[in-house]
């Protein structure tokens, strides 16, 4: 499936005693993040107090406000899968760098999508625009908020790069770590551009939707964090390939779940409005699959509601699209695809030769990311 048929295990299973437990990765990474941000904020205040107050403080607040810390957890799991044990400080610093990279992506994504809220609070560009207005500053508050938010995202990326580089300099596998990091940054930008391009071109294809989901989310949410962690532990090419393949499947499952939550989720739980993807007609696998099903089954009403060029801005239009997604069976199809991807991710992870204890840890993370308890492929065939 998706060109990722599992190969035989690359290494013998590590069936010695279970690895020594490391501290809870997300919680430990949060402590590392706090220390990192404290240093960065102190430096920012020394550079310029206005910049520090308006941008640096807001970036730090976003990073520490909520978030699942999935990237940190997957990086730690990849490290343990490749035999990492003992001092986990390096992989926790990589996890903290990934959280800062995520902050950059969120701020820029909200600007491009015109999203109003993020993690239960106003999006960065909205908050900065409000500050402009409240302070009685000159010019367009909206333009100011957008421009300042772009800079805030750039700052988060700079902090992420600094932290990753510092970690790589002290690691025996530093060069390979930087290789993975270069890849994840480029893939993230490529995915964001493909997303913009698809909206401008009014694309609607399932294959394009999957390509965007892979580049924009699956790789940098799961596949690269797993590979970064494995690299720190000295994983060979076969193990790193297995980690990336497992991560690609789990990451796509995560993105498809996020697509469903973006349409049908409870904003009180997700921290962002439901229906934004429909208002902007963002090309998701959910939307592309629904349109394909509508056209195949001759459901002209659903096809008209979902087609490129359809009116999507009003709440009534959003409700028509939401109803079409359910009526065509696309919602159920995506749920099934999530389960299939989650199961495939477990098969790929077995190729690492990781101890069963670590495989259980990975399965729990996949369930947390995808919202389903993954089963083996033969169980769902």
CA distances from residue 254 to 88, 94, 214, 258, 371 in whole angstroms, order as listed: 26, 21, 10, 6, 8
Task: Report residue 315 as tokens.
Answer: 């709440």
Chunked mean pLDDT (size 10), the chain, 381 residues = 43 46 66 92 97 96 85 94 87 94 94 85 93 90 95 97 95 94 95 91 90 91 96 95 96 94 78 75 91 92 85 80 91 94 96 94 94 65 44
Model pLDDT, residue 341 = 96
Q: Residue 30's pLDDT is what?
A: 81
The radius of gyration of the chain's CA atoms, rounded to the nearest angstrom, is: 21
Q: Which residues sit opposite 118 in a β-bridge?
A: 121
CA angle in degrees (0–180, nearest 5) for 363-91-160: 110
Backbone phi and psi for residue 121, each to the nearest 5 degrees, phi listed first: -140, 170
pLDDT of residue 378: 47
Identify which of 315, 263, 251 has the alpha carbon closest to the alpha carbon of residue 289.
263
pLDDT score for 271:
63
Among the four given CATH numbers 3.60.21.10, 3.40.50.720, 1.10.600.10, 1.20.1260.10, the one describing domain 25-380: 1.10.600.10
For the chain, domain boundaries: 25-380
| The pLDDT value given to residue 155 | 97
Distance separating alpha carbons of residues 369 and 373, to the nearest angstrom = 10
Q: Is the pTM of this model over 0.75?
A: yes
């Amino acid at each position: 499936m998706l060109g990722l048929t599992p190969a035989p295990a690359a290494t013998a299973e590590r069936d010695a005693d279970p690895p020594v437990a490391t501290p809870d990765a997300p919680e430990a990474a949060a402590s590392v993040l706090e220390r990192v941000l404290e240093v960065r904020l102190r430096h920012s205040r020394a550079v310029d107090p206005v910049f520090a107050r308006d941008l640096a403080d807001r970036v730090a607040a976003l990073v520490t406000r909520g978030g699942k810390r999935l990237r940190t957890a997957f990086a730690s799991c990849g490290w343990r899968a490749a035999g990492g044990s003992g001092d986990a400080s390096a992989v926790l610093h990589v996890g903290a760098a990934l959280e800062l990279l995520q902050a950059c992506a969120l701020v820029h994504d909200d600007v491009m999508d015109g999203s109003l809220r993020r993690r239960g609070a106003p999006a960065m560009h909205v908050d900065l625009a409000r500050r402009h207005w409240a302070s009685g500053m000159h010019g367009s508050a909206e333009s100011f908020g957008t421009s300042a938010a772009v800079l805030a995202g750039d700052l988060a990326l700079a902090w992420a790069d600094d932290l990753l580089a510092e970690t790589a300099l002290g690691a025996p596998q530093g060069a390979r770590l930087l290789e993975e990091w270069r890849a994840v940054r480029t893939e993230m930008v490529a995915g964001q551009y493909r997303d913009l391009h698809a909206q401008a071109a009014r694309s609607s294809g399932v294959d394009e939707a999957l390509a965007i989901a892979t580049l924009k989310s699956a790789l940098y949410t799961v596949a690269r964090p797993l590979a970064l962690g494995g690299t720190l532990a000295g994983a060979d090419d076969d193990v790193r390939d297995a980690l990336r393949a497992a991560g690609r499947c789990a990451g796509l499952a995560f993105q498809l779940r996020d697509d469903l939550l973006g349409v049908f989720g409870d904003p009180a739980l997700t921290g962002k409005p439901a229906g934004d993807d429909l208002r902007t007609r963002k090309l998701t696998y959910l939307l592309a699959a629904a349109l394909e099903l509508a056209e195949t089954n001759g459901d002209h009403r659903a096809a008209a509601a979902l087609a490129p060029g359809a009116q999507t801005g009003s709440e009534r239009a959003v409700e028509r699209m939401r109803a079409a997604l359910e009526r065509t069976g696309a919602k159920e199809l995506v749920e099934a695809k999530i389960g299939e991807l989650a199961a495939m991710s477990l098969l790929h992870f077995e190729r690492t030769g990781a101890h069963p204890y670590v495989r259980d840890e990975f399965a729990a993370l996949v369930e947390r990311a995808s919202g389903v308890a993954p089963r083996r492929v033969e169980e769902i065939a």
